[in-house]
Amino acid sequence: MFKQLAVLGLTLLLVSTACIKEDSNEFSEINTWIKDEMQTNYLWNERVPESVSGTIPPGAFFGSMLDPEDNTSFILSNSNIIPGETSGLTFTSGISPAFGQFSNTGGVFIIVEFVYPGSPADSAGFKRGDIILGIDGSGLTTANFLQLFYSERNSVRYSLGSYDPEAQTIFFADSNVTVEQGELDLNPVVYSDIIEQNNDKVGYILYASFNSGESAKYNDSLDVVLQEMKSQGISELIIDLRYNEGGDFDAARNFANAVVPASSAQDEDVFIRLKYNDILEQQILQEDGEDSERLFIKFEEDPENLNLERVYFLTTSSTSSTSELMISGLSPHLEVVKVGTRTAGEYFGTKIIFGSEATPPNSYIMVPVVLQYQNSNGTTVSGGIEPNLTAVENLLQPFPIGDTQDPILARALNSISNGGQSSSAKFISKPYIDLVDERSRKLGRIMFRSEKN
C-alpha cells in the first residue's frame, strides 16, 4: 500500500491522518536495524545517532553517520550484489581487468592484467595486455565501464582494440570475441616459478587475492607451492601483489607464516594488531581476554616456513587492504623490499551484515568498517606504502607474467643479484591514467564475509 501512496503524489492530501503517520515511518524498521548494527560494529560508532527517522531512506541514513575519513563503508540492496561474492565465488569470464583512460583523447579502455588459468577467457585465447574497447556493442565511458564489465550475463561479447605506440592511441581491431561467464572459484595462486640467476634460486608467486577458499583449499594450494620452493632450496622470494586488492585474514596469516623467520613463528610474535570501537573491544576482552585472536593475529609455526631473511613484494596502486596488511605486518620481523609504485593506503577491515538475518528481515546488505589494523610496532599504512625501488609497468606493452624482462620483476631481480642494491630504474612512459575499480576494491576490503549477529 505504501508504494501506491508514494506514486499517487498529491492524493496523499486526501488520505487519513493515521495513514500519513504510518507512511512517515516507512523506513523505521530498517533504519533501526542500521542504527543498532552500526552502534555495535562501526569503528567510529560515536557518530551513530541515538534516534531514528523513519522518513529518511536507508542509504541516506547510513551515509549520514559515516566518518569523514571513511570512504570504505557501503550499503546496498541484496539484488545489487552478486550472490557468489558473499561466498567466495566470483561471476566472471576469468579476466583480471585494469581500467585506463588516455589523457589526450579521453578514451576509456580495459586492459587484461592476467587471465586465470583454465577459465573461459583462457580457453578463448585471452592473454595479458589484450585491449577491450566495447562490451556487447556498447563503447566504454567513465560513466559505464564498471557497470558494463561487471554485469551478469551468461556470455559477453568483447570488442577488441590494438595499441599504436608511436601515436599513443588505441584503435578498434575489427575483432569481436564472445566468452562465457559464470560463478568461478578462482585459485589466487595464478602463477609460480623458480628463477635461477647467478647462484640464486628465486621463488616467484603471483598471488591475486587473499582467498582461503572453502575448507582452506587455496591455502593448501599455496602451501604446496611453498613446500616445493622449500625443497628446491630457494634463497629469495618475490611475492607479486600488483593486482591484489585484499581478502581475508586467514589467507594472509597462512602466507605470512611461511615467510617470517622461523624464530618469529616459534615465538608466536605479533603479526597484526586489530583496533575496534570501545563496545566491541570490551566485548572481546570479556569473552576472550587480553590475548584474544580477535585483538592480535600472531605468527604460528608452519612446516612450509622458508626461514627467509628478506622478502620482496611487487606493488602498484591496486595493492590494497590485506595485501598492505601482509607487507606491513612482516616489516618489523625481516627485511621487506617493496618494488613498484605506492600502494593504495587501505588500513581498515569491513564485514558483511545481512538484513535477511535481522528481525524483521529486510533486503539490505550493510558493509561497515569494523576495525583498523596496525603492525606490531603500531604503524598503519595511511597514505600507502612507498616502494624502496620504484618501477612502472605499461600494460599496453606488457611482458608475460613471470618474464624476467617485466620492468618491476626485473628491478627486484637486479636488486637480488646486487646483494640488495639496485641500479637506477629504466624510465617507462605510461600514456594513460588508471581508473580506480571501486567495486573490486570494496570487495577486497571485506575481511569477514559472513557472521550472524
pLDDT of res. 109: 95
Element (H, E) at 18: helix 17-23
Do 78 and 58 touch, CB atoms closer than 8 A? no
The full length of the chain comes to 453
**CA–CA separation, 150 and 153 (whole Å):** 9
pLDDT band at 21 (very low <50, low <70, confident <90, very high): very low
pLDDT band at 446 (very low <50, low <70, confident <90, very high): low
Element (H, E) at 5: helix 2-8
Does the CA dihedral 332-337-342-348 come out positive or negative? negative
130-143 mean pLDDT: 95
Lowest average pLDDT, out of 127-141, 142-156, 393-407, 436-450, goes to: 436-450
> Cell triple for residue 317?
596502486
Query: Could you read off the pLDDT of 75-110 as tens digits, one per residue?
Result: 987 645 544 455 557 889 999 999 999 877 788 999
- Around 370, how many Cα atoms within 13 Å sit in the side-chain half-sphere? 21
Stated pTM of the model: 0.88
Q: Can you give the residue ranges of every domain in the chain?
A: 2-70, 90-184, 189-448
Task: To the nearest 10°, report the CA torsion of 425, 429, 432, 434.
Answer: 0
Do 341 and 387 touch, CB atoms closer than 8 A? yes
Does the pLDDT of residue 212 top 90, yes or no?
Answer: yes
pLDDT of res. 83: 46
430-442 mean pLDDT: 81
Lowest average pLDDT, out of 56-60, 215-219, 259-263, 433-437, goes to: 433-437
Superfamily (CATH H level) for 90-184: PDZ domain (2.30.42.10)
Does the CA dihedral 383-384-390-395 come out positive or negative? negative
Does the pLDDT of residue 12 top 60, yes or no?
Answer: no
Do 357 and 286 touch, CB atoms closer than 8 A? no
Sorted by sequence, the CB contacts under 8 Å of residue 182 that are 6+ apart come out as 91, 92, 120, 154
pLDDT of res. 422: 60
Cross-strand pairs, 351: 448
pLDDT of res. 345: 93
Peptide bond into 400 cis (omega under 30): no
pLDDT of res. 168: 80
194-205 mean pLDDT: 95
* More confidently predicted of 15 and 71: 71
**CA–CA separation, 44 and 39 (whole Å):** 9
What one-character-per-residue DSSP string does 118-173 give? Answer: TSHHHHTT--TT-EEEEETTEEP-TTTHHHHHH---SEEEEEEEEEETTTTEEEEE
Task: To the nearest 10°, report the CA torsion of 305, 310, 311, 316.
Answer: 160
209-221 mean pLDDT: 94
Superfamily (CATH H level) for 189-448: 2-enoyl-CoA Hydratase; Chain A, domain 1 (3.90.226.10)
What one-character-per-residue DSSP string does 318-376 give? Answer: T--THHHHHHHHHTTTSEEEEEES------EEEE-EEGGGSSS--SEEEE-EEEEEE-T
pLDDT of res. 251: 95
pLDDT of res. 389: 97
Amino acid at 10: L
Among 301, 304, 297, smallest CA distance to 220 is for 304
Does the pLDDT of residue 121 top 90, yes or no?
Answer: yes
Does the pLDDT of residue 274 top 80, yes or no?
Answer: yes
Does the pLDDT of residue 449 top 60, yes or no?
Answer: no
Among residues of the chain, what percentage have pLDDT more than 70? 88
* More confidently predicted of 418 and 158: 158
pLDDT band at 37 (very low <50, low <70, confident <90, very high): very high
112-132 mean pLDDT: 97
Give the single-character DSSP code of 277.
Answer: -
* More confidently predicted of 133 and 418: 133
For 196, other C-beta atoms within 10 Å of its C-beta total 11
Q: Is 198 exposed, middle or buried (CB count within 10 Å of its CB: 0-12, 13-18, 19+)?
A: exposed
